[in-house]
Each structure stands twice: as C-alpha cells, then as structure tokens.
Structure 1
Amino acid sequence: MLADKRILLIIGGGIAAYKSLDLIRRLKERGAGVRVVMTAAAQHFVTPLAAGALAHDRVFTELFDREDEQDVGHIRLSREADLVIVAPATADLMAKMVHGLADDLASAVLLASDKRVLVAPAMNPLMWAHAATRRNVARLVADGIAFVGPNAGAMAERGEEGAGRMAEPLEIVAAAEQALAPAGPLAGRHVLITSGPTHEPIDPVRYIANRSSGKQGHAIAAAAARAGAQVTLVSGPVNLPDPQGVAVRHVETAREMLAAVEAALPADAAIFAAAVADWRTASEADEKMKKDGKAIPALALAENPDILATVAHLSNRRPRLVVGFAAETQDVVAYAQAKRARKGCDWIVANDVSRRSGIEGGVMGGDENAVHLITAEGVEHWPRASKADVAGRLVARVAAALGPMEAAS
C-alpha cells in the first residue's frame, strides 16, 4: 500500500525522535520514498546525518536555505508528498499547527500543505492532559488531521507514567497505510473500538476473566478500517492477529483499558465491544497463593471502572456516537434497553451468549453472532450471521449515523 508513495516525515524535538529513525526504515521497507524535515529541537536528539542515511536523501532543516528556497522549497516539499507524518509531534508543534504559525521550516511546510497529515504526539502526560493541549487536539481533529497515539506507559522522566508515549513505528506505518487507502464512507473519521476480555490478577499466576475471544471486536475494527476510518483498537489479551491498518493498544486490565481509551480520545465514534471484568481483587497477592492444607482464601473484590459509562458521560470529549455491547443469557432485549439508559450511550448491541443461542461453539469464541441493535428509536433484530458480516453491517450503520465528513459540525 505504501509502495512508490512519497512520505514527508517531520521530526519534532523530543526524546521519542529516536523512534523516528526506525520509522524511516519501516517506511522504506514497504517501498515508500521518505524525505525528512527536522526542527532545530529535533537535532538535539538525533542527527540529520543519521536520518539522511536511512532515508537515502538529504535532510531539510532550514527555512531560509538559499539553495532550496530559490524555488520556494517549503512549498515544493509539501506538494511533492502524498502524506505528511509528524513524529514526534510535540505540544509546541501542534500549537503552531492550530494557530497557523510558520516561523521555521516544519511549521511552514505544514501551513503550506494541501495533503493528508498524520500526527503522532509525544510529550509528558501532564502536557498531554493540559486543557490547552486538549483544545488543540480537538481543533486539529476538526480540521481533518489524523492522529495515531499517544500510548500510555513509562516516560523518559524518572518515575513518570501515563499517556504521552509516541506510538510505535509499526503503529504509525499502519496508520499511514490507512490514511493513504482509497476513501470510504468513514474517511476522515476516527473510530475507537475496544475488544477482548480483561485479565484482573489474583496473584502472579491466576486472574479473573471471562470467555471473550475478541473476534467480534476485532472484526469491527477491520471493517471500520476498510471503510476508511482511522481506527484505534484497545485490545485485551486475545489470540488474534492485529487487524491490518489499525493502530492497536494492547492492555491487560480494566484500568489499563480505561487509560488507553482516554488517551485515544477524541474520536467521532466509540464502540465498546470488550467484555470488561466487572470486578478485580481488592489487593493482588505478591506470591502464588498455596493450598498447604489451609482454609480456602477469601477474595475481597473491588469494582472496576465502567469504561462505557465514563466515556458516554464525558462533557467535552464525548464521541458523537457511543455504542456499547450487552452479553446476556436471559431477557436479552429488556436488559439491553435498561443498560442503554443506565450507561448513557447511544446504541447497545445485544446478544444471547447462553447455550440456547444455538450457535456452534457459542457466541463467545464462535465465528457467528445474532444481535439486536437497541437505539432511541427502537429495536432491530438482526439475523444470525458471521461476525465479519455483523461487523460490516454495524460499521455501515455508524457511517450513516455520522454522515458525510462535509456535513460534520
């Protein structure tokens, strides 16, 4: 998909700039031509020599370069690219993009670009969470800028942890492939999806979980990507390959899933297909719990965060469309209708996961599903179908509900 594509990579100033060297290599492996622009700050972390050696081209660093600017170099750099990637995108660089500043080569290229722009943010978690950054991200998304990441995890600063790590090079490559794919009904949209179970540790070898395989959530992510969306998939532990063209965040627990979901916002639509464990142990044992002929240990449980309700009740970053899933074993529609009202989401996709479903292998772990779509307008009973077909039908409904990108407010 990237063969013969021309990528302009803008490297911002941050410790994550070292990952951009691997990104150049990954893009070149896929047949893309890569030109590199580096900010002055970026050159404190990696050298133009290293980036140029990997790109097999000179690196551009100066706005007022007599050799390049005699033919309006920053305009040429922008217009000769099929896609512009900013990685890492610092808080400062994103603020310049929002306000149309052009005081260096990188910002001038971005202001002069009429091509798709893909941004991979990287910064301290407090900077990412700051109200100014959140406003800037929302403005860039509204302007049609695509985002990949940031991820949650340990930061360069000692003891710092949270959302702000730049997406991994292969995640950025997948997002680039999606950005350059032919336009579909969700082109320009960001769709956030959760999938699979969560594993809540009891001790180092045991955990609380459920039977979710992740097949339905992963199928929805793949269908949304085929429809042209920029897709972020937050996946619990599954034995499935990552869907092609999808940025995947791998997590274990419900609390990790919530953090990854919040880091991936804003989004146009959020589909919560993961089967999140309702409870976790109040305290995880440091060592394996032994029988030793002793009394059976009592597990004190604590309630996990409600990811669906949390996102559905956001005041400023709530997706336009929030879709939940309800896996029930009795009174499926009634329970799902009550859940939609209680959680505050727009739609609920309900299915019968009992043995009465009649689906070989069961819904959880099987390849088929039969669902009911509950909305404010009523209930739609969809016929039994493959999970891929259910995913395609749901994604088509999401695209219709969001409408064309031009009609978005």
Structure 2
Amino acid sequence: MNLSNILSETNIVLGVTGSISAYKSLTLASRLTQLGANVNVILTEGGSEFITPLSYRTITQNPVVTNSFDVNSAYSVNHVYLAKKTDVVIVYPATANSIAKLAVGICDNPLATTILSTTAPIIIAPAMETNMFENSITQSNIENLKTRGFHFIGPDAGHLASGALGLGRLTEPEEMLGHIQFILGKTRGDFSGKKIVITAGGTQEPVDPVRILTNLSSGKMGYSLATAARDRGATVTLISAPVSLSAPIGTTIHEVKTAEDMLKSVHENIKEADAIIMAAAVADFKPTNSVGKKIKKSDDNFTMRLSPTSDILKSISDTKIIKVGFAAETDNLIENAKSKITSKKLAMIIANDVTIPGAGFGSDENQISIIDQDLNVESLPLNSKYEISHTILDRLLPLLQRFK
C-alpha cells in the first residue's frame, strides 16, 4: 500500500441501488479508480434501471455483479469472493428499501449477501425523499445498523428528485471520497491511534475595525498536512487562522484570528496530543494599542507601535509532546532554521524559501528542507504540498514510535 494514497491498491465493493442519484456513483467509481483502487461494482436490479453495467465496467475495468446466480461471472461465488477480498464496502446510493433489508438481514441480492458475509468496514450513503428518510421506521433501521458498526454518510439537504427542497440528497462524490479516506485511514493507516495538532494559515492582528496586520499565508501547507495525517489514520485537530479553504473531512477544526487566539487554542488542544506541527504563519508583532474606530487618512501624524507576540512553540514546555516547526525565510534559510530548532527545542523543523518561484505562500507546491534535532539537513525537490506532507509524516512517525 502506498501510504501517500490510502486508496492505492485498495479493494472496494461499490454497491449501487435503485435511486435516481445513482448517476453520481459513476463519478465516485471513476475517482476511486483514478486514485488506484480496485473497484468492483454490485448493481442491484433497481440500480440497473438507471445505469447500465457496461458504464461501470468501462470505468473500473472489472466485471459488474448483477445476479447471484450468474454462472458466467468472473467470480467463483460472488458474495463470498468479494466479501473476503474487499477492504471496504460502500453503498452509494442506498435507498430506504436497501437499508431496511440490511437492518433485518434479508439477503435477496448479491449486494446484501456480500455485506452480510464481509468483515470489512461498511459505508452507507442514503438517498431518498425527506419524509422517507425522517420516517421513524427508516430512522430505527439506520440506528440499528449504526449499533452494528455501519458508517452512515449524509444525506444532505437540497433539491430532491421530486422537485422539493429538503433532507435526503445524496452526498456529493468528492465529499464522499473524503469520508472513505478517513474511514480507511482509521483501519489501515500507520498513524492510527495517534493524535496530532496542526496549525495553519496566517494570523491577523487588528489595527482598527477595518485594518489588520497579516501575511501572505494561504493555509495550504497546514491543510495538506491535516489531510495527509487524516488519510493515514491520525486523529487530527486543525487550528486555523482565516483561510479560504474547507476543513478536511474527519478533522476537528478550531478557527482563530490572532496570535493570542492561536496560543490559547494550542494549549487547550495539546493536552492529549502526541505531536504538534506548527505550520501556521503566526504574526511576530501586533499593534500595541488597537484603535476602536477607523483611522482616517487625515490623521497624517498617526504612528503605530508594535509589540512582539508570544512564541507558541517555545511556550510548550511539555516534553512528552513532539514539536515540529516551520521556518519561512527569504535568506540564510538553513542557518535561520537551525537556530530555531535549538531555541524552541523542536524535534525537527521544516524550512522553506518563500522567494522560490512556484513554491511557498499561495502555491499548491513547495520546496523544503527538513532539519532534525542533530541538525542533519534533508533537502527535497519541488513537489505538491500533499506529497511533501507525507514525507514530513514519514520522518515524524519513527519519533512517535520511539518516544511514545
């Protein structure tokens, strides 16, 4: 398994039942396949009324199971073979009828028999009209399956097939993908059981009600780290300054603005953490006195005094938590980073030159050097921030195993 992609070489059973939203399962099957998963589709009789088996076979390059008694199937005994082989079963979409059958153990199609035969995680994505979903019978069936370890994702609120607005819309494929990665990470990831706090974004220090002191950090590095750690099974707490990014599914996010806010949130959330990765660009200075009203251009004698903010990593005295810092520099990159690893007592520091074209703030890529406690330097080529995040986690994992 490629740890930088939890879906690589993963065997997935994708069950498709008879809902108009079944068309979205083609997109999900395509995304899973693109990410290296081996996808086997089981199409119920109702599902085949909306999408043909050929569509799934073309996307996944695998035969599609539609009939438990198909003697021409590539699988020896469909439900037994797939149940043993699969790493996860996903029912997307799941109708009220299919959920009800599973809740009472009715096995009248290959999907139901596969689910009852497997020990792999089972993820159900309901799709139905609001009244059907909210009906006490459906809710009882869902609760019954949840107590048996089934994972339920959605449904969402929005436009339904009837034209009504309400709860019952199938979770979108890209969001579903995040949930699948999160659940697989918990069962297969090498960070499973580890608790990681990650900070991201650039803090904002108020000058007056309409102005702030901030920096160019987009938060992409921190969010990539949070996504990668989640994909590898870590329990991730993301402490984020204001950014234009969505929190990775499966992470717990705390939104802050100022350096002081972040300091407080970090100390509240590291009590049970194994490591903190300080990827946020925290302001070094703040206005000594923030003004309560807008500063006018006519105030030509205005002078702003600055005071240093607290050094968050230096303030963490708990020796049981592994501290990883970041150093965004414009010159003397390695020298400046080495001084920080010593003064802040870090396990390692990630140094990056923000003047390199295509790397650093706002970019989807980065070029970094990793410096360990012994001041050894490992320089990496330009790569996506997500892939770089996995390299950082690769270096962190032995430290967690050694000291925990």
Greater C-alpha Rg: 2
Letter of the 2:353 counterpart = D
Measure how far apart 1:176 and its partner are: 12
Aligned to 2:310: 305
Deviation of the 1:335 alpha carbon:
0.7
Using the alignment, how far apart are the partners of 2:399 and 2:342 within structure 1? 19
Match of 2:246? 241
Q: Which amino acid aligns with 2:214?
A: A
> Alignment identity in percent?
33
Q: Distance in 2 between matches of 1:176 and 1:380?
A: 29
Aligned partners of 1:175, 1:273: CA distance in 2, in Å?
Answer: 26
1:177-216 matched pairs, under 5 angstroms? 178=183, 181-216=186-221
Matches within 5 A, 1:16-165: 31=126, 56-57=139-140, 80-82=147-149
Deviation track 1:147-179 (CA, whole Å, cap 9, x = no partner) reads: xxxxxxxxxxxxxxxxxxxxxxxxxx9899559
SS at match of 1:182: helix
User: Which secondary structure state, in structure 1, belongs to the residue aligned with residue 390 of structure 2?
Assistant: helix
Partners of 2:302 and 2:180 lie apart in 1 by 47
Q: What are the equivalent positions in structure 2 for 1:241-260 lying under 5 Å apart? A: 241-260=246-265
Is the 2:186–2:234 contact (alpha carbons within 8 Å) kept by the matching residues of 1? no
Give the deviation of 1:254 after TM superposition: 0.8
Partner amino acid, structure 1, of 2:266: V
Structure 2 distance, partners of 1:55, 1:274, is 44
3-state SS of paired residue (2:388): helix
Find out whether 1:342 has 2:330 as its counterpart: no
Q: By how many angstroms is 1:211 displaced?
A: 0.7
Q: Which amino acid aligns with 2:318?
A: L
Q: Structure 1 residues 249 and 54, CA, compared in 2 at 3 Å: closer, same or farther? A: farther
SS in structure 2 of the partner of residue 260 of structure 1: helix
Of 363, 366, 387, which residue of structure 2 is paired with 1:366? 363
Residue of structure 2 in register with 1:375 after alignment: 372
Q: In 2 relative to 1, CA 285–367 (structure 1 residues): closer, same or farther, beyond 3 Å?
A: same
Q: Find the aligned partners of 1:176 and 1:263 in 2 and give their Cα distance.
A: 27
- Alignment-mate amino acid for residue 380 of structure 1: E
Q: 1:379 to 1:291 in 2, by over 3 A?
A: same
Residue 182 (structure 1) shift: 2.6
Amino acid at match of 1:291: K
Name the counterpart of 2:318. 314
Contact 2:235/2:251, CA 8 A, preserved across alignment: yes
By how many angstroms is 1:185 displaced? 0.5
Give the count of matched residue pairs: 256
Tell me if 1:283 matches 2:289.
yes
Could you list the runs of 4 or more consecutive aligned residues of structure 1 that deviate by over 2 angstroms after TM superposition?
1-4, 28-32, 52-58, 79-84, 173-183
1:331 matched residue in structure 2: 332
Q: Deviation of residue 242 (structure 1)? A: 1.2
Is 1:220 the equivalent of 2:221? no
TM-score w.r.t. the length of structure 2 is: 0.56
Aligned residue for 1:287, secondary structure, equals: coil
**Other-structure match for 1:64:** none
**1:178 and 1:246 in contact (8 A); partners too:** no
Which residue is equivalent to 2:173?
A: none
Shift of residue 226 of structure 1?
A: 0.3
Q: Are the aligned partners of 1:222 and 1:243 in contact in 2 as well (CA < 8 Å)?
A: yes
Kept in 1, the 8 Å contact 2:186–2:232? The answer is no
For 1:54 and 1:205, locate their aligned partners in 2 and report how far apart those are by CA, in whole Å.
53
| Structure 1 position 181, deviation (Å) | 3.8
Question: Structure 1 CA distance, aligned partners of 2:236 and 2:351?
Answer: 22
Instruction: Please give the alpha-carbon distance, in whole angstroms, between the structure 1 residues aligned to 2:124 and 2:209.
Output: 39
The alpha-carbon deviation at position 249 of structure 1 amounts to 1.0
Post-superposition CA distance 1:113-149 (Å, at most 9, x none):
xxxxxxxxxxxxxxxxxxxxxxxxxxxxxxxxxxxxx
Contact in 1 for aligned 2:191/2:229 (Cα 8 Å): yes
Structure 1, unpaired ranges of 5+: 7-27, 33-51, 61-76, 85-172
Q: Secondary structure at the match of 2:188?
A: coil
Alignment check: 8 A CA contact 2:185 2:233 kept? no
TM-score for both structures, normalised by structure 1: 0.55
CA apart distance, 1:80: 4.9
Deviation (angstroms), 1:183: 2.4
Q: What's the offset of the Cα at 1:256? A: 0.9
Aligned-pair CA distance for 1:244: 2.1
Q: How well do the aligned residues superpose, as a CA RMSD in angstroms?
A: 3.6
Return the letter of the residue paired with 2:280: A
Letter in 1 for 2:245: L
Kindly state the Cα deviation for residue 393 of structure 1 after the two structures are TM-superposed.
0.9
The 1:176–1:372 alpha-carbon spacing in structure 2 relative to 1, beyond 3 Å, is: closer
Matched, 1:392 2:394: no
User: 1:202 Cα deviation (Å)?
Assistant: 0.5
CA 1:288–1:194: 2 relative to 1, 3 Å: same
Q: Deviations over 1:312-338 (max 9, x none)?
A: x235xx41x210000111110011001
**Matches of 2:226 and 2:390 in 1, distance apart?**
10
AA partner of residue 223 (structure 2): H
